Amino acid sequence: MSNAAIIDAASAEALDPADFHSGATPIWCPGCGDYGVLSALEHALAINGRPPHEVVLVSGIGCSSRLPAYTSCYGFHGVHGRALPFAAGVKLARPDLEVIAVGGDGDGYSIGGNHFIHACRRNLDMLYLVMDNRVYGMTKGQPSPTTEADWDSDIAPGGLGLRPFDPLALAIAGGANFVARGFSGRPQELKDLIVEGLRWPGFAFIDVLSPCMAFRSEEFGWKESVHPVARTIEDDRAAAHAAVLAEDGYSLGVLFKDHRPSLPARYVAQSSLSEIEQQFAVCR
Amino acid sequence: MARSSLSVVFSGRGGAGAMSAGELLLRAAADLGYYGLMSRLFGAQVRGGEAAALVQISTEPVTCQPDRFDLFVALDWEKVDQFASEIPLDENTVIIADPQSGPTPQSIARSKAKTIPFSMSNADATPLERALQSKYTNVFAAGAVAALTGLPADALQSALSAVLGGKSATVTRANADTLAAGIAAADTLDLDLRLAPPHTAPRWLLTGNQAIAIGALRGGVRFVGCYPITPATDLVEWLSPELQNLGGRLVLAEDELASINMVLGASYGGAPAMTVTSGPGLSLMVESIGLGIAAEIPAVIVNVMRGGPSTGIPSKTEQSDINIAIYGGHGDAPRLVLAPTSVRDCMFTGEWAVYLAESLQTPVIVLSDQTLGQAFTVIDPKPDRPTPLARRTTVPDGPFKRYAIASDPVTPMPRPGTPRGQWVGEGLTHNEIGIPVGGAAAHVAQLDKRARKFAQFDPGPLWGDVWGEGETVILTFGSGIGPAQEAARRVAAAGQPVRIVSLRVLSPLPVAALAHALEGARRIVVMEQNHSAQLYHHLLAHKAIPPSAESFARPGPLPFRPAEIVAHLG
Ligand SMILES: Cc1ncc(C[n+]2csc(CCOP(=O)(O)OP(=O)(O)O)c2C)c(N)n1
Ligand code: SF4
């Protein structure tokens, strides 16, 4: 068998979630929701079927952004807020790879908020998984764009007094093809969502409710609040936007799916560089 | 007697076609074998503001702005006051203006240049033709000037079609007629502008921005992420369709934070990648350049400098981003900073930057500036090219450690998709595998690893150039080199030899090569275009020049001109 054939045969073999585990010990606090996200992701990747070396996980900065090193995939742990453009660069240069961006709500919605809008609009075929704990965990408990207005903290005594924004509504308005909400306390359902997101063409965005044990232990009560989404809206972006704005923020599942085209994966070379250089020739 | 060079200004309100007139003259001359250079002056207004094309044609290579202009062609006088101070004229300058445009404004007349009235429309045309052609005063004027220099009509007509590109048949026809009328009208001007015959050879006509783009393509760049910013935009506007033609891609990012991260991502994916910007954009990229350095990701960052700080003077030149390019960023973040030595060298340095980024696995900053970038120049295409150097991607035997501490500080970085090669690029202080760690030992080890890449980097003869000899040295870089050489030629002709030492590598400073280049110097003048003598202090800090060296630093936006340098040398 040729080398390529051996690799093909190997990747065709069933993958195990353990194949995606690096063995590095997470720095996460005991009980952090992100453990559940990591586990669901490893299971989903095994089902998805592409071997670890064909998957690239990109993150920014935050507790959640530590995730790539805990998998056995290729990865990149960049600066705060820039995971999405980095991931876009990987995908555009290498459309053959499975590209996944991960991070926190601060990373993705605050410092990286502009990139979030434009990643939805660009609609590249990749997955973006946000571990939304509605707090800045790594910097020890400041309110994020998804934190409730009255959540009391040192930096904002009595609460910020600002209405949290809805990242799912933003993603739908921005142009993402797949918009879903998961919960780290429901890893089986989360795994299924991730598999579906990975396989859905275009930009798949999953906001994962992932409680912060250290600064928002009340978030463990989310398991009482969550419920299945009433219905998945397909192709009707306006209806989906309205539905998302009307729901309570705890419905789990796919809220919206669309079939908007993305950028062309590649351009075919039409000319050689020496031909291009000829445009500058004078006095031939 | 025929002259060896001619400098001409075409000036008018935006839309009057000053740039097309300049390009027409330059292109026709270039096709006949003349050298030349055209700089463009624009006011701040996007449409309808003032515009001037500053054109030089010569039998010898042109590498700087002239001290003065021989000819000033006013397509109109509407907005000329706004940049009159940037166009040196004197009593020997001839102004050509249509009496219909009104009197010569004081800002121009002050030079004591004499004005020759010249009707810039075709006297024989029917009223209808005249109405059609009045839009093309620029072509009429360019035709007349070009004919006086001795450029033949057929060369002018073919240059005109090149300048017009794909304009409609009616427009092309009207322009061609106007050009013919302009050529015919040359006889009515009592002016001797005849040029000596050129030394013909196959050459290129392009801007420094295009030359850097070509260099990057030659080096293998097939991915560009960028955000528009003057004076870098024309580089990426030229590059975008050509990248597509080559099967590559340019992505218009949402901002420079995204541009640099897209470039790092594409590069992590295995594609040689580049971003192109100017000062404000470079400022936004600084954090992520540090990331590229720490995570050891190749990337080329072209910075076409303009006047700063803040939004500064967006459309005009300055060399004031030396500090940010070399030192911008938090932590210890050594990087390679290169500067092309001429428009011609933009190609070489652009290509070399890609090879260095790829082989050393680090961001490389290329400092160009508006003067080089937007100068439309005739060059002898450089036959020599840098030796190709590639990224190491092979997965070594045994357990793979991306950031291994070994005798070679450059460690393999497998392309994603390679089995057994998985690694996580890491911006936090990390161990050899790439896992974040907070200890002193790993911190020092990785800082050392990265510093060794630069300590071991030996540019050889490519560090820069020494030109001429003499105990007086002008040490400069980038767009300072051309005018310094011209000044040195004049001073040498007057019996005082001057040596020009020019840097292509600004960081890490080639201290040993510089020491050699400065041997025997009695007077060293560090010439640069910024207010705070950034290069001078960089050189002093590294003891690359003696404390007795002088600083000749002044900000933009006016380009250095030879006479100013001659005067400074005293
Ligand atoms: C440019 C920059 N600003 C600020 C920080 C400090 N910082 C590190 S993580 C973080 C917030 C992380 O919050 P989130 O993304 O929600 O992730 P979590 O830790 O909650 O998982 C901040 C503000 C930084 N690293 N870089
Ligand atoms: S601080 Fe919160 S988000 Fe961070 S690891 Fe601990 S529990 Fe998780």
HEC per residue, B470-498: CCEEEEEEHHHHHHHHHHHHHHHHCCCCE
* Residue B205 contacts A, CB cutoff 8 Å: yes
Question: Which ligand 1 atom is at minimum distance from the Cα of A132?
Answer: 16
The whole-angstrom separation of Cα B111 and Cα B104 is 11
The whole-angstrom separation of Cα B270 and Cα B223 is 10
Q: Which CATH number belongs to the domain containing residue B536 in this structure?
A: 3.40.50.920
Min distance B172 CA to chain A CA atoms (Å): 21
Both tokens of residue A270?
Answer: 């039409």
In a domain, B453, yes or no: no
pLDDT band at residue B129 under the 50/70/90 scheme = low
In a domain, A25, yes or no: no
Q: Do B269 and A56 touch (CB under 8 A)?
A: yes
Mean pLDDT value of segment B98-120: 92
Q: Do B40 and B171 lie in a common domain? A: yes
Residue B290: which H helix or E strand, with range?
helix B279-295
Amino acid at B564: E
In a domain, A2, yes or no: no
In a domain, B395, yes or no: no
User: DSSP secondary-structure letter at B362?
Assistant: S
CA of A139 to the centre of ligand 1 (A): 6
Mean pLDDT value of segment B429-449: 97
Residue A57: which H helix or E strand, with range?
strand A55-59
CA distances to B156, B229, B258 from B305, in Å: 34, 11, 20
User: DSSP secondary-structure letter at A231?
Assistant: -
Predicted local distance difference test score (pLDDT) of residue B42: 82
pLDDT band at residue A6 under the 50/70/90 scheme = very low
For ligand 1, atom 10, the nearest C-alpha belongs to A62
Angle, CA of B230, B231 and B232, to the nearest 5°: 95
The whole-angstrom separation of Cα A252 and Cα A228 is 5
Res A123 pLDDT > 80: yes
Among B158, B188, B218, where does a domain finish? B188
Owning domain of residue A270: 32-279
Predicted local distance difference test score (pLDDT) of residue B128: 67
Predicted local distance difference test score (pLDDT) of residue B47: 72
Both tokens of residue B505?
Answer: 């590598």
Give the number of the ligand closest to the Cα of residue B257.
1
Average pLDDT, chain A: 95
Q: Which CATH number belongs to the domain containing residue A47 in this structure?
A: 3.40.50.970
CA distances to A23, A254, B221 from B416, in Å: 20, 30, 18
Mean pLDDT value of segment A270-277: 96
Predicted local distance difference test score (pLDDT) of residue B387: 97
Ligand 2 within 6 A of A63 CB?
yes
Q: Do B178 and B93 lie in a common domain? A: yes
Report pLDDT digits (tens) over B345-377. Answer: 999 999 999 999 999 999 999 999 999 999 999
**B369 in helix, strand or coil?**
strand
Q: Do A85 and B205 touch (CB under 8 A)?
A: no
Residue given tokens 């640099």 in the structure block: B260
Predicted local distance difference test score (pLDDT) of residue A254: 98
Cis amide leading into B241 (omega within 30): no
Average pLDDT, chain B: 95
Q: Do B183 and B248 lie in a common domain? A: no
Predicted local distance difference test score (pLDDT) of residue A4: 45
Give A205-220 as a 3 state SS string: EEEEECCCCCCCHHHH
Residues of B in contact with A276 (CB under 8 A): 217, 242, 245-246
Res B207 pLDDT > 90: yes
Question: From the CA atom positions of chain A, what is the Rg in Å?
Answer: 20
In the stretch 27-86 of chain A, residues with CB closer than 8 A to chain B read 51-54, 56-58, 61, 66, 68-69, 72-79, 81-82, 84-86
Predicted local distance difference test score (pLDDT) of residue A5: 45
Owning domain of residue B284: 205-379
Residue B305: which H helix or E strand, with range?
strand B299-305
The whole-angstrom separation of Cα B439 and Cα B428 is 11
What's the burial of A244, exposed, middle or buried (CB within 10 Å: 0-12/13-18/19+)? buried
Predicted local distance difference test score (pLDDT) of residue B1: 80
In a domain, A150, yes or no: yes
Res A183 pLDDT > 80: yes
The whole-angstrom separation of Cα B296 and Cα B431 is 13
For the beta carbon of residue A214, count every other beta carbon within 10 angstroms: 17
Q: Do B294 and B232 lie in a common domain? A: yes
In a domain, B398, yes or no: no
* Residue B210 contacts A, CB cutoff 8 Å: yes
In a domain, B195, yes or no: no
In a domain, A81, yes or no: yes
Question: Which ligand 1 atom is at minimum distance from the Cα of A107?
Answer: 15
Angle, CA of B136, B140 and B146, to the nearest 5°: 140
Q: Do B14 and B50 lie in a common domain? A: yes
Q: Do B257 and A85 touch (CB under 8 A)?
A: yes
Predicted local distance difference test score (pLDDT) of residue B135: 73
Residue given tokens 């020009």 in the structure block: B500
The whole-angstrom separation of Cα B427 and Cα B421 is 19
Residues of A in contact with B218 (CB under 8 A): 273
Interface test with B, best of A57, A79, A116, A123 (most B CBs within 10 A): A79
Report pLDDT digits (tens) over B222-238. Answer: 999 999 999 999 999 99
Residues of A in contact with B261 (CB under 8 A): 78-79, 82, 85-86, 89
Q: Do B220 and B258 lie in a common domain? A: yes
In a domain, A63, yes or no: yes
Q: Which CATH number belongs to the domain containing residue B274 in this structure?
A: 3.40.50.970
In a domain, A147, yes or no: yes
pLDDT band at residue B45 under the 50/70/90 scheme = confident
The whole-angstrom separation of Cα A174 and Cα A30 is 36
The whole-angstrom separation of Cα B37 and Cα B66 is 10
- Name the residue in chain A with its Cα closest to that of B286: A79
CA distances to B172, B232, B235 from B277, in Å: 35, 6, 9
In a domain, B106, yes or no: yes
**Helices and strands, number each (H, E), in chain B:** 18, 21
Q: Do B223 and B92 lie in a common domain? A: no
Strand pairing partners for B313? Answer: B307
Q: Which CATH number belongs to the domain containing residue B122 in this structure?
A: 3.40.920.10
Q: Do B238 and B341 lie in a common domain? A: yes
Predicted local distance difference test score (pLDDT) of residue B227: 98
Among B379, B410, B436, where does a domain finish? B379
Predicted local distance difference test score (pLDDT) of residue B83: 84
Predicted local distance difference test score (pLDDT) of residue B383: 78
CA B439 to chain centre: 44
Res B554 pLDDT > 60: yes
Q: What is the pTM assigned to this prediction?
A: 0.96
* Residue B344 contacts A, CB cutoff 8 Å: no
CA A269 to chain centre: 32
Q: Do B16 and B107 lie in a common domain? A: yes
Phi and psi dihedrals of A13, rounded to 5? -65, 150
Residue given tokens 């901002």 in the structure block: B255
Long-range contact set of residues B233-239: C-beta below 8 Å, sequence gap at least 24: B234/B207, B234/B209, B234/B373, B234/B374, B235/B209, B235/B210, B235/B276, B235/B302, B235/B304, B235/B373, B236/B276, B238/B209, B238/B210, B238/B213, B239/B213, B239/B276
**Does the CA dihedral A24-A26-A31-A34 come out positive or negative?**
negative
Predicted local distance difference test score (pLDDT) of residue A1: 36
When mean pLDDT is compared across A261-275, B113-127, B246-260, the lowest value belongs to: B113-127
Q: Do B234 and B170 lie in a common domain? A: no
Mean pLDDT value of segment A191-209: 98
**B282 in helix, strand or coil?**
helix
Res A232 pLDDT > 70: yes
Both tokens of residue B45?
Answer: 């207004």
Predicted local distance difference test score (pLDDT) of residue B134: 63
Q: Do B209 and B138 lie in a common domain? A: no
* Residue A155 contacts B, CB cutoff 8 Å: no
* Residue B436 contacts A, CB cutoff 8 Å: yes
Interface test with B, best of A86, A110, A118 (most B CBs within 10 A): A86
Report pLDDT digits (tens) over B323-345. Answer: 999 999 999 999 999 999 999 99
Ligand 1 within 6 A of A253 CB?
no
Mean pLDDT value of segment A162-173: 97
Residue B73: which H helix or E strand, with range?
strand B71-74
Amino acid at A105: D
When mean pLDDT is compared across A37-46, A240-249, B170-179, the lowest value belongs to: B170-179
The whole-angstrom separation of Cα B166 and Cα A181 is 52
CA B481 to chain centre: 12
Strand pairing partners for B527? Answer: B552
Report pLDDT digits (tens) over B365-413. Answer: 999 999 999 999 999 987 789 999 999 999 999 999 999 999 999 999 9
Judge contact between B530 and B279, C-beta under 8 A: no
What's the burial of A42, exposed, middle or buried (CB within 10 Å: 0-12/13-18/19+)? buried
Amino acid at B190: D
Cis amide leading into B309 (omega within 30): yes
In a domain, B535, yes or no: yes
pLDDT band at residue B131 under the 50/70/90 scheme = low
Report pLDDT digits (tens) over B458-492. Answer: 999 999 999 999 999 999 999 999 999 999 999 99
By percentage, how much of chain B surpasses pLDDT 90? Answer: 90
Q: Do B17 and B129 lie in a common domain? A: yes
Residue B17: which H helix or E strand, with range?
none
Amino acid at A65: S
- Ligand 2, residues A32, A61, A66, A102: which to mutate, most atoms within 8 A of Cβ? A32
In a domain, A104, yes or no: yes
In a domain, A16, yes or no: no
Among B329, B361, B379, where does a domain finish? B379
Question: How many domains does one find in chain B?
Answer: 3
Give every CB contact of residue B50 below 8 A, 6+ residues apart in sequence. Answer: B11, B12, B13, B14, B41, B42, B43, B78, B79, B80, B82, B83
Question: How many domains does one find in chain A?
Answer: 1
